[in-house]
Structure 1
Amino acid sequence: MADRFDHTSAETTATFMISVAAELAGMHAQTLRTYDRLGLVTPQRTSGGGRRYSNRDVELLREIQRLSQEEGVNLAGIKRIIDLSNQVDALQSRVRELQEEVDAARTRRGGELVPVPRTSALVVWQPRRKRTTD
C-alpha cells in the first residue's frame, strides 16, 4: 500500500473521466461519486468541476473494492486504513529526511556525533566577568 494512497503530489500522468475510471476500476460511476463524497478518493477537478481520476486513483479504487469485497472491511474501516497508510508514508519520508541530515552532520564533523543523555537537570550559566587590569 505504500505511496499508492498519497494524493499530495501532482500527477503528470494521464487522467480519466469518471466513466472511464469507473470502467477501469470495475465499478459504477455513482460509486466513485460516493467514494469522493466520503473522502476515500480525491480526484483532481477540472475548471468546470468535473472529476479527473489518475492511474493512482484507479489503483486506490481497486484496493477499496478488494478490501470491501475480499476482506469484508466497511467503508469507515477502509478510510481509516487509507489515512493510516498515508500517515505511515509521510513518517517514512520524514525519517529518510532526518537520516540524511544526520549523515550530513556526521560528514561535516568527521564522523563524530556524541549522544547527550536526556536529563531534567537545570544548568545555569553565567559568562565570566572580564578581568580588569589596574
Structure 2
Amino acid sequence: MIKIDNNSSKAIYEQIYDEMTRLILSKALKPDEKMPSVRELAAMIKINPNTIQKAYKSLEEYNYIYTVKGKGNFVKNADEIRSVHIKTMEEQLNSTIRSLKELGLEDEEVIRLVKNILNEGNK
C-alpha cells in the first residue's frame, strides 16, 4: 500500500502524503472510504504515530481527506480533487514552458524535451 524510502531526502511524512495522494487520485482509495486510523497505519508501516498525524493533517489541509469526529478520516471525492490537481499541474507546466522559452528554446526544442520525458515514462 504505502512505500517508504528511508534513504530518501524527503521527510517521511511527505512520503506518506505523496503515497496517499497517489492512492486517492488513482482511485485505489474510494470517495468516503475510511482511512486507517493514525495508530493502525503507524503499526502497519512501523512509523511513529506523530509522523502519520502530520501527514494526515496535510492531507486534510489540501482537501484530500476529511475528518468525522469520533469516526475517523475519510477520502474526499477524487474527481473534484483530481480536477484541482490537474489544474495546478497545468499551471506548473505552463510556468516551466515559459521559463524554457525565456532561456531561448524554440517551440520544437520544448516539444522534443516533453517527448523525451514522455518516452522515459514508457520504459
Structure 2-normalised TM-score? 0.35
Q: Greater relative contact order (Cα 8 A, min sep 6): structure 1 or 2?
A: 1
User: In terms of Rg, which structure is larger?
Assistant: 1
Q: Which has the higher helix share?
A: 2
Structure 1-normalised TM-score? 0.33
